Amino acid sequence: MNYRHAFHAGSFADVFKHAVLCRILHYLREKPAAFRVIDTHAGAGLYDLTSTEANRGGEWRDGIERLMKAQAAGEVPEQASALLSPFLDVIGALNEPGKLKTYPGSPAFTRAWLRADDRLIACELEGHASVALARNMRADPRIKTIEIDGWTALQAYVPPPERRGLVLIDPPFEEAADFHRLSHMTGLAHRKWATGTYALWYPIKGRFEADELAKRLRRSGIAKILRAELLVSPVSDPTRLNGSGLILVNPPWTLEAELEVLLPVLARLLERQPRSGGYTLDWISGEAAPIAAKTKPVAKSAAKAKPKSS
């Protein structure tokens, strides 16, 4: 999978990943103690949706644009809308009202949640993206951008001095070995910082790689791992991206219930064809749960937002 993020910014996978990221940051910010976010594969930080790259595939039109139109039209159920508001507010702050030109990457979402004593380490190895990241995050003393391999950074910056925070691991998956690296390196980092929250993103073309990742992580001995997956089409064509997943180690206690609300709504709004979306939400460690993903189709009851009282 060749994953130059400028081509995919604002896609359904970004919407899912960043909406969950904002829920985790919201939880971290609720407590007074400072926290640190370590973003191992940070990308450029901000993306121009009018660029040639973004419009070549137009993935943002079936991702963030579709979601924002649904939100504006009142098609998002009230509870899900409230959970998505912090995510959408960050995007709105970067764009003129009614226009969608700039999409934030994970460093920009994180920056919006940092308080004076909170910190972000944003790592990116690719030269052009690293330069853009430094430019986009410049003049913020809370943020340090580093041109470094993300896997090296994962070992170098864990544990953080604050002992509170999140490690976001979002590799490009340009090599088949990235699935194995993801489980192996997470296990090593967890041994150094067992109380941290880790969010591991991965693409879903077929089921094999995703389920093998879950099995390896379960064997790692990590005690508390929640799996969340969003599918926009059936996993029947392994040549295309049919969905994406997040492995959440030590997730906030509120997150499972929030995902139970968000996942069916996102699956319905972002599916490629009617009734083609689905989602998975299960514990692969921490509760008795089968490893094989049991994908839930979009329920008919999720098809419409609850009417707002006048």
Contact (Cβ atoms closer than 8 angstroms) between residue 281 and residue 246:
no
What is the spatial distance between Cα 246 and Cα 228, in angstroms, rounded to a whole number? 5
What is the spatial distance between Cα 16 and Cα 24, in angstroms, rounded to a whole number? 13
Catalytic residues: 170
Residue whose entry in the numeric block shows the structure tokens 């579709």: 66
What is the spatial distance between Cα 199 and Cα 153, in angstroms, rounded to a whole number? 15
What is the spatial distance between Cα 202 and Cα 293, in angstroms, rounded to a whole number? 15
What is the secondary structure of the chain as a DSSP string? Answer: ----GGGTTTSHHHHHHHHHHHHHHHHHHHSSS--EEEETT-TTSEEETTSHHHHHH-GGGGTHHHHHHHHHTT-S-HHHHHHHHHHHHHHHHTS-TT---EEE-HHHHHHHH--TT-EEEEE--SHHHHHHHHHHTTT-TTEEEE-S-HHHHHHHS-S-TTS-EEEEE-----STTHHHHHHHHHHHHHHH-TTSEEEEEEEESSHHHHHHHHHHHHHTT-S-EEEEEEESS-TT-TTS--EEEEEEES--TTHHHHHHHHHHHHHHHH-SSTT--EEEEEEEESS---SS--PEEPPGGGSSPPPPP-
